[in-house]
Amino acid sequence: MPTKQRRLTSPTADDVRAWHRVRSAALAHDRPGDPLPTLAHVRASLTTVGPGSRLALWLVHGANDEGVATAKLRLPAAEGGGRLASVELTVHPAHRRMGMGSRLLATVVAAATEENCRRLSTEVLAGTPGESFLATREFVPALRLTWQRLVLAEIPERIVKLPDVPHPGYRLAAWEGAPPDALAESFAAARAALADMPSGGLEVSRTRWDAERVRMTAELAARRGERLLNHAAISEADGSVAGYTKLTLPAEADEGGDGGAGDASSARARAKQLDTAVVAAHRGHGLGLWLKSAMLRHLLDAHPEVTEVVTNTADDNRHMLAVNAALGFRPLRRTVAYQLTLPA
What CATH number is associated with residue 314? 3.40.630.30
Is residue 341 domain-resident? no
Averaged pLDDT for residues 82-104: 94
Is residue 124 domain-resident? no
Averaged pLDDT for residues 146-170: 94
Averaged pLDDT for residues 40-60: 92
Other CB atoms within 10 Å distance of the CB of residue 303: 16
State how far the Cα of 83 lies from the Cα of 41, in Å rounded to an integer: 27
Averaged pLDDT for residues 34-49: 93
Beta strand 241-249 with 84-91: parallel, antiparallel or unpaired?
Answer: unpaired
Q: Are residues 187 and 315 in the same domain?
A: yes
Averaged pLDDT for residues 55-74: 94
Is residue 258 over pLDDT 60? Answer: no
pLDDT of residue 256: 42
In this structure, which amino acid lies at residue 273?
A: Q
pLDDT of residue 265: 55
pLDDT of residue 329: 96
Annotate 152-175 with b (16+ C-beta within 10 A) or e (fewer). Answer: beebeeebeebbeeebeebebbee
Q: Are residues 100 and 162 in the same domain?
A: no
Is residue 126 domain-resident? no
Distance of CA 82 to the CA centre of its chain: 20
- Residues recorded for the chain: 344
Averaged pLDDT for residues 68-80: 86
Is residue 100 domain-resident? yes
3 state DSSP class of 90: strand
Cβ-contact 200, 142 below 8 angstroms = yes
Q: Are residues 163 and 298 in the same domain?
A: yes
pTM, entire model:
0.90
Strand ranges inside 33-176, DSSP E = 53-61, 67-76, 84-91, 119-125, 140-151, 170-176
Q: Are residues 112 and 169 in the same domain?
A: no
Cβ-contact 314, 143 below 8 angstroms = yes
Is residue 342 over pLDDT 80? Answer: yes
Is residue 226 over pLDDT 80? Answer: yes
Q: Are residues 107 and 188 in the same domain?
A: no
DSSP calls for 58-76: EEEE-TTS-EEEEEEEEEE
Is residue 217 domain-resident? yes
pLDDT of residue 202: 84
Is residue 139 domain-resident? no
Q: Are residues 168 and 90 in the same domain?
A: no
State how far the Cα of 117 lies from the Cα of 77, in Å rounded to an integer: 11
Beta strand 119-125 with 84-91: parallel, antiparallel or unpaired?
Answer: parallel
State how far the Cα of 292 lies from the Cα of 80, in Å rounded to an integer: 35
> Of the candidates 46, 36, 50, which has an alpha carbon nearest to the alpha carbon of residue 12?
46
Averaged pLDDT for residues 58-62: 96
CA distances from 81 to 51, 77, 142, 195, 249 (A): 12, 9, 19, 14, 29
Is residue 97 over pLDDT 50? Answer: yes
| pLDDT mean across residues, the chain | 91
Q: Are residues 104 and 169 in the same domain?
A: no
- From 76, 97, 117, give the residue that closes a domain: 117
pLDDT of residue 50: 83
Averaged pLDDT for residues 218-238: 95
State how far the Cα of 243 lies from the Cα of 287, in Å rounded to an integer: 7
Averaged pLDDT for residues 94-123: 96
Is residue 259 over pLDDT 80? Answer: no
DSSP 27: H
Beta strand 53-61 with 67-76: parallel, antiparallel or unpaired?
Answer: antiparallel
Number of domain units in the chain: 2
Q: Are residues 187 and 313 in the same domain?
A: yes
pLDDT in tens, 268-323: 689 999 999 999 999 999 999 999 999 999 999 999 999 999 999 999 999 999 99
Is residue 11 domain-resident? yes
DSSP 318: H
pLDDT of residue 262: 40
Percentage above 90 pLDDT, the chain: 81
Is residue 132 domain-resident? no
Q: Are residues 175 and 74 in the same domain?
A: no
Q: Which tops the pLDDT comparison, 258 or 114? A: 114
pLDDT of residue 250: 82
Q: Are residues 197 and 308 in the same domain?
A: yes
Is residue 137 over pLDDT 90? Answer: yes
User: By residue range, what is the domain housing residue 104?
Assistant: 4-117
Is residue 240 over pLDDT 60? Answer: yes
Q: Are residues 9 and 63 in the same domain?
A: yes
Is residue 239 over pLDDT 60? Answer: yes
- 126 class by beta-carbon count within 10 Å (0-12 exposed, 13-18 middle, 19+ buried): middle
Q: Are residues 179 and 284 in the same domain?
A: yes
